[in-house]
Amino acid sequence: MVFEFSLTAQQGSARAGVLQTPHGPLPTPVFAPVGTQATVKAVEPRELQELGATLVLANTYHLHLRPGEDLVAEFGGVHDFMAWNGPMLTDSGGFQVFSLGEMRDIDDDGVTFRSYLDGSIHRFTPEVSIQIQHKLGADVIMAFDECPVPNDRAAVERALARTHHWLDRCAEEHARSGDLARQALFGIVQGGIFPDLRAASVEYAAGLDLPGYAIGGLAVGETKAEMVHTLEQTTSLMPANKPRYLMGVGSPEDLVNGVARGVDIFDCVLPTRVARNGAALTRLGRINMRNRQYATDHDPIEPGCTCYTCRTFSRGYVRHLVQSSEILGHQLLSIHNLHLLLTLMREMRAAIIDGTFDDYATAFLASYQPVGAAQGAALHTA
């Protein structure tokens, strides 16, 4: 059955499974590189395949604004448009719309907003978001939700009521106009950092018996401890027979902590975004390739790494590219960073199946240093 999810193994809360999709089976846990505008920045689809990527995310909001979902559909959908033949996921556009601040106006029916490109007026409702995603044609599509400030209870309660109402409308629109065998609609659990609201949201979303569920509204301003605690409480309540997707989270330590708490799917712009700012992800933490200490360093970015960048180039050369603002620097760092995250996911899956995940996670987190600590490097983000 298309979109059937089955568990292969479990150790504690950590799960290894397989999600069947129209574009092939998707082994989990899995990390999805983000292709915001139908491209993973500075990385070719061929390179994604060579890296072992099995899932890519594209952005509904950005593709709606440019080039438009009708044009993408004319090319056969986002798979054919960007020449990616593996499973794909599109977000609903909700997070981007709600992050626009004064450029958007929200009401109970939907959101009116100005394009950041030309100031033109657009409106997303739950039905419009689903219709756009139908035309884009990804395997997994997301419900339109409201992502509030996570620690403002009154705002979270208002947003949660909207999110649940909009989820009903998304499900109705998908059933009315979509191909349920070609696209799976995932609901999104919200509730900020409040356990009772998260529990209520899980109960409401699970009542619709959708093919999968996402956890939204984390890594948006709360502390790391609050995120992990909220995640642990939320996943423990979610249906065990459905895939769980933690939206917008992708640092190495967050991936390990997320898998340990039962998350199956992740996505994040982090590996390519920090690459464009000269940062490399390693098993010990992030390093800033702009640092002068790497100018004469003949070693690869991460000794022992088997990615193309580390097999071929020195830290000294990569630093030169970064300092010179050469596009190749973005490409090589993106390849390395994605390689690390995709490798971690494969290793964690194998460890769950082997029954060694607890030891793996403990060892990784013991040696990994948070941002700012790794080799004394300061990270420049954008």
Cα(331)–Cα(94) distance, integer angstroms: 29
Closest among 12, 19, 43, 29 to 341, alpha carbons compared: 29
Q: Which residues lie across from 148 on neighbouring strands?
A: none
- Active-site residue set: 91, 267
Q: Which helix (H) or strand (E) holds 300?
A: none
- β-pairing verdict for 265-268 and 244-246: parallel
Four-residue CA torsion sign, 269, 273, 279, 280: positive
- For residue 201, the number of C-alpha atoms closer than 13 Å in the C-beta half-sphere is 35
**What's the number of CA atoms in the CB half-sphere (13 Å) around residue 222?**
24
Q: Quote the CA–CA distance of 370 and 224 in Å, as a whole number.
A: 11
According to DSSP, residue 378 is labeled P
Nearest-angstrom CA–CA distance, 60 and 21: 20
> Tokens 């790497």 belong to which residue?
294
